[in-house]
Amino acid sequence: MKKSIPSEELESLTVDGLGLVSKGLRVVHPLFGEGTVVALFEFSQGGYSIGVEFATVGYKASTPQHAKLQLAH
């Protein structure tokens, strides 16, 4: 059984290299292509997660420092 980490959903998050990130922001990943930010979380133990829905691979979540996201043009 998979355990969930206690977290709080955020409305926005400031990310180095992206600026203010909020739900609905269009982003690009080097492998997955274009996607839309659909979730932002702050974990109770520290750290953040960005959830992105990509047309090619579906939903992916990652920490901001590992996400390799850029703004879509």
What's phi and psi for 64, nearest 5 deg?
Answer: -55, -40
Report the pLDDT value the prediction gives residue 1, as an integer from 0 to 100: 61
Query: Is 1 within a domain?
Result: no
CATH of the domain at 63: 2.40.10.170
- Residue 51 maps to a domain: yes
Render pLDDT for 26-73 as a digit per residue (tens, 0 to 9): 999 999 999 999 999 999 888 999 999 999 999 999 999 999 999 998
User: d(Cα 45, Cα 29) in Å, to the nearest integer?
Assistant: 27
**Nearest residue to 50 via CA among 42, 36, 40:** 40
In a domain, 46, yes or no: yes
Residue 10: per-residue pLDDT: 94
**Mean pLDDT computed over 16-22:** 93
User: Is 16 within the bounds of a domain?
Assistant: yes
3-class DSSP assignment, residue 69: coil
Q: How many separate domains does the chain show?
A: 1
Give phi and psi for 42, each to the nearest 5: -115, 125
Q: Is 25 helix (H, G, I), strand (E, B) or coil?
A: coil
The range of the structural domain enclosing residue 19 comes to 7-71
Using a cut of 0.85, tell me whether the model's pTM lies above it: yes
